[in-house]
Structure 1
Amino acid sequence: MELYHLRTFVTVAEERHLTRAAERLHVSQPAISAHIKALEEELGLVLFERTPKGMLPTSAGEALLERARQALAAVGAVGLHAQELRGEVIGTVRIGLNTDAGFLRLVELQGELKARHPRLEIEFLGGTTGANLPKLKSGRLDASFVSGALDEAQFDSQVLREEEMAIAAPVALREAIGAGDVATLARQPWIHSSPDRVQHAVMRALFEPHGVEPARSMLANQKDAVLAMVAAGVGLAVTRRQDIERAAEAGAVFAVSLPMTPTPTVSLRFACLRQRAEEPVLRAVRAAVLSVWGDTATGFQ
């Protein structure tokens, strides 16, 4: 039995889709199909059922899945221990992103990692906090930048900084907004964000206690798109005060403080699964993150 057959089996079971499994493993879809067929022939079992919803594990596949994960973990542990004995950090680390590269100091982090561990391959993968947490749990990401609170039983994380949140408003609405009380704000058009974004949670915390739902002019998640829409007068939006103040230099946007006490902040964190926190690669990455964010970081939890 080949290890890559087991790895393919686990990946297909997690992704439920041949194309996504092929993308994750960086191999062709025919190769994925061949691995599954070879493993089924060797075991004498049908492991998957092809359905309109994707590749679903059969009862036999479900029964073997955890054993396959354990086998792969055991082999991985041998390799990690060998790295420790050699004093080397080798491999690939997949790091999830939840906002723009400049804010996350990615250039500095990449430089720090390459200087310390030249044989470590780094992959920065775009996403959101809501999308990245399931990927951490499934192993599709090794570590991730995330925003907001985390389940400390599941995740080991470091607070890198507290992000002050505010309302980005078009200059054309300055008079209409006035002092920016909740009732006045609720009457304005709003650019909403997806439920998996921290901006969505802040909006809910602002309006739900007052029993109001702000009008929705559109939905946008990308920071640049949100600020461009605000500048164009499409509506108001919750985002980082730092970004609003930078955009305000062009004269079309201004920041409105959230009428909430205390002023809401959102924790930017660097996280990994707690059960993986002591792996050599992740220890090395966390040390580099600490070096880059040492001016504001508060320590791993």
Structure 2
Amino acid sequence: MELYHLRTFVAVAEEGNLTRASERLFTSQPAVSAHIKALEEALGVALFDRTPKGMRLTSIGEDLLPRARHTLAAAGAFVEHARSLSGEIAGSVRIGLNSDARFLRVAALQTGLAARHPHLDVSMLGGSTGLNLPALRAGRLDASFISGERDDSDLVLHRLCDEHLVVAAPRAKRLRASGLEMSALARLPWIFTSPECAYYKAMQGIFQAHGCEPLRTLMADQEDAVLELVRAGAGLGIVRAGLIDGDNDRACELPVAVPPVPLQFAYLRARAGDAVIGALVAVLREVWGLDGAAAPVPAIRVVAG
């Protein structure tokens, strides 16, 4: 049994599909199938049930999956520690994104990592706060950008900035909506995000303060999708300030005060001493100016358990 067999096992288990697993591993589908077959033969157990809908873990596979993840993490930590002894940071790091790359300063982060740690393999993976936090805890992400206040005892949080929010409305409805009371605005169609999203909580907060609930028309869990739906006239929504392009945009801002939410960078507290995480955070702090006098908020908060 080889470590690459375990990597393939974890990828197939998480993707539930040989094709997606092969794309994730940058290899061929026959190679993925061969790895799984070799691992099952080496262990003497069936790890998956092959179904028309994809690969489903057997009860034995479900039991072995967390052990496989732990083994891979331990092997990676061993290599990283050995290289750190010589001052070299290598390995891989998967970073979850929850907004657009420009706002998150992804290009500057990658440029800094590549310059300082050329042997570090960096993956930037799109998602949302609600999806990235479970992936972080399951070991599918090493760190993630998240929005909103958190008091999770298992996380280390670096507060990067405040996200200023606005109520976006279709421009065609501006005259109708801009002069309405909150109770009347609540009766207009609203585009919700998921309940785990900080923008959803901000929206609920402004209406609860006025004793009313907004009318849900549909749910979209990506900021660009919310804004495009607003532009199409589907309803009103909460978006980050600065995304609406003035009078030329098919969306407009309504004069409604929405409290800001913090943008934060999170990783598991159990990995606070990890060399790769340390290297990542050092570049992140430079990119966001967290060590300079201009830092807008405290740079790091370790939540007590």
Normalised to the residue count of structure 1, the TM-score between the two structures is 0.84
Q: Do the aligned partners of residues 111 and 7 (structure 1) sit closer, same or farther apart at CA in structure 2, a change above 3 Å counting?
A: closer
Shift of 1:144: 1.5
In structure 1, stretches of 5+ residues that fail to align are: none
CA distances 1:184-232 after superposition (whole Å, capped 9, x unpaired): 211333333344543333333334563434252x554554454455455
Q: Which SS does the other structure have where 1:156 is aligned?
A: strand
Q: Which residue of 2 aligns with 1:126?
A: 126
Name which of 245, 256, 272 aligns with 2:254: 256
User: Which amino acid is 2:15 matched to?
Assistant: E
Q: Quote the Cα distance in structure 1 between the aligned partners of 2:56 and 2:229.
A: 42
User: Which amino acid is 2:86 matched to?
Assistant: R
Q: Which residue of 1 aligns with 2:267?
A: 272
Q: Which SS does the other structure have where 1:291 is aligned?
A: helix
Q: Quote the Cα distance in structure 1 between the aligned partners of 2:145 and 2:79.
A: 26
Q: Do the aligned partners of residues 36 and 252 (structure 1) sit closer, same or farther apart at CA in structure 2, a change above 3 Å counting?
A: closer
**Contact 1:207–1:214 (Cα < 8 Å) also in 2:** no
Shift of 1:122: 2.3
In structure 2, stretches of 5+ residues that fail to align are: 290-294
Q: Quote the Cα distance in structure 2 between the aligned partners of 1:81 and 1:161.
A: 32
Shift of 1:98: 1.1
Shift of 1:255: 2.5
**Contact 2:80–2:91 (Cα < 8 Å) also in 1:** no
Q: Quote the Cα distance in structure 2 between the aligned partners of 1:151 and 1:238.
A: 23
Q: Which residue of 2 aligns with 1:103?
A: 103
CA distances 1:23-48 after superposition (whole Å, capped 9, x unpaired): 33222222222112112212222222
Q: Quote the Cα distance in structure 2 between the aligned partners of 1:70 and 1:222.
A: 32
Q: Quote the Cα distance in structure 1 between the aligned partners of 2:281 and 2:250.
A: 39
User: Which amino acid is 1:278 matched to?
Assistant: G
Q: Which residue of 2 aligns with 1:212?
A: 213
Q: Which SS does the other structure have where 1:271 is aligned?
A: strand
User: Which amino acid is 1:46 matched to?
Assistant: A
**Contact 1:170–1:254 (Cα < 8 Å) also in 2:** yes
**Contact 1:14–1:138 (Cα < 8 Å) also in 2:** no
- The answer as to 2:180 corresponding to 1:185 is no
Shift of 1:168: 1.5
Output aligned runs, 1:69-88, within 5 Å.
Answer: 69-88=69-88
Normalised to the residue count of structure 2, the TM-score between the two structures is 0.83
CA distances 1:230-287 after superposition (whole Å, capped 9, x unpaired): 455543221122334xx2253654433445xxx5221111112222232211111111
> Percent sequence identity over matched residues?
50
**Contact 2:128–2:222 (Cα < 8 Å) also in 1:** no
Q: Which SS does the other structure have where 1:264 is aligned?
A: coil
Q: Which residue of 2 aligns with 1:89?
A: 89
Q: Which residue of 2 aligns with 1:147?
A: 147
**Contact 1:180–1:256 (Cα < 8 Å) also in 2:** no
Q: CA RMSD of the aligned region, Å? A: 2.7
Shift of 1:173: 3.2
